[in-house]
Structure 1
């Protein structure tokens, strides 16, 4: 099984992904590590990424997912997965790729981003991400409210994954 923690910046994808991978005893892979230097540079300057910027990044993550599947391994990935088309690339034709949509209010996200240190993402891009976001359907993803503690969030995810 492949689990992808998705949502806009500030939802806690990395922390939740790391904690979830510990609980599932599997590898954690932060999708941001696959961004090109050009993409990271754009985001650090407050320049929103285009689909043309994102597609090679998404295809690289998809290849990593396929490699995990070939090995028969479970893994937890993080990727904002803002649009349906992006999730379609990441999922491919796999029924065992599960999205976990981490969702929070604008105020909570803004507060979390203001408290962040040493991250390439310019907090000014939050509204751009929210404008780009095409929320998944309840059939496509597990919805998780980020107001809870990280441990409570992970417990909810495991319960909803039914594993």
Structure 2
């Protein structure tokens, strides 16, 4: 709730390492709730994409402008009164803390999977700038949601529709239809 007692718009951040299905799950959640969707990769500066495409992990300094851009997008939608769904790896607590600065009721959906399954998924996808070699650095950086962080962990060991349903139910929301 906002200070005036009004409901703040909600922002769902679908998080996890590359290859867990963030985009698929986030699009499914957005469609089920009839909320706008944004893909965090589209907020990366060209220098970040070039770095990752070359197999070079991003540093915190590389990530801060990207995370601020996502936070600012959430803020802009919240000012319009819109609930939203956005993907973002949000691997570290301090990244999530920055996203929580948004003026929205921000909740995380942490997608979890066996690293072997994730590696297999990354190895078979095409057209993505994130090379499989960077999964190891993401797993090393990953700080799972901690007690007190607003969000839920959802396993991706099921078809996408089931993952979406699990996420919506775990958040205590109801989809359309």
TM-score range, shorter chain: over 0.9
> How large is the RMSD of aligned CA atoms in angstroms?
1.1
> In the alignment, is residue 23 of structure 1 matched against residue 32 of structure 2?
yes
Which deviates more from structure 2 when the two are superposed, residues 131-140 or residues 67-76?
131-140
Q: Give structure 2 stretches of 5+ with no counterpart.
A: 1-9
Which deviates more from structure 2 when the two are superposed, residues 88-97 or residues 34-43?
88-97
Name which one, 1 or 2, has greater alpha-carbon Rg.
2
> In the alignment, is residue 153 of structure 1 matched against residue 173 of structure 2?
no
Which has the larger helix fraction?
A: 1
Say which of 46, 57, 62 aligns to 1:53: 62
**Cross-structure match for 2:50:** 41
Cα distance change on mapping 1:95 and 1:35 into 2, 3 Å:
closer
How far residue 139 of structure 1 moved from its aligned partner, in angstroms, is: 3.5
Partner Cα distance (1:115, 1:45) in 2: 18
Q: Give structure 1 stretches of 5+ with no counterpart.
A: none
Question: Following TM superposition, where does structure 1 have runs of at least 4 consecutive aligned residues deviating by more than 6 angstroms?
Answer: none
Partner Cα distance (1:121, 1:93) in 2: 27
**Cross-structure match for 1:131:** 140
TM-score in terms of structure 1 length: 0.97
